[in-house]
Amino acid sequence: MRLLVLFFLILPLYSVELISFNIYDRNDRVDLMLSFDNAYNGKISQKKEKNLTLLTFSDLTYSKDELKELNSQLVDKISISSKNNNTYIMLQNKQNINLELSSINDKFGVRIRAIEQGKANIESVPTTTANNSQELMPK
């Protein structure tokens, strides 16, 4: 029983939490900067539907739900929520977009860049699978 209690006390020390985010709306792109309390080494998956793009960050928590509306040519809204040790970031797109992910500050942050589809650097865009779902790795 003591071991079980000790396990639950130590468990939060190893999980990563999203501590802040910033949105930068530019003419040709939207940058979403995420900052973590520890180095993030989890998996990031992407699923695209018509005008929605969903990013799932495994093993990442966030303490609240956020919804931000933008005056962007590319993205209408960005929502951030967390459930079951996963954090979900949903982008409501005005047009088809590609996402570029970059690790920053020794994995203590991630930059998500939304750009118009077809304008991306070919090397940084993973191939889309048949079910519009893919796993992403920050550069």
User: What are the boundaries of each domain within the chain?
Assistant: 16-136
Does residue 72 register a pLDDT over 50?
yes
- Domain 16-136 listed as CATH 3.20.20.80: no
| Residues facing residue 80 across a β-bridge | 66, 89
Band the pLDDT of 15: cuts 50, 70, 90. Answer: confident
Please return the burial class of 78, using the count of CB atoms within 10 Å of its CB with bins 0-12, 13-18 and 19+. Answer: buried
C-alpha angle 135-81-84 in degrees, rounded to nearest 5: 75
The whole-model pTM stands at: 0.78
| Mean pLDDT, all residues of the chain | 83
Q: What pLDDT does residue 133 have? A: 63
Band the pLDDT of 1: cuts 50, 70, 90. Answer: low
Give the residue, 9 or 64, on which the prediction is more confident.
Answer: 64
C-alpha to C-alpha distances, 93 to 37, 77, 86, nearest whole angstrom: 29, 8, 22
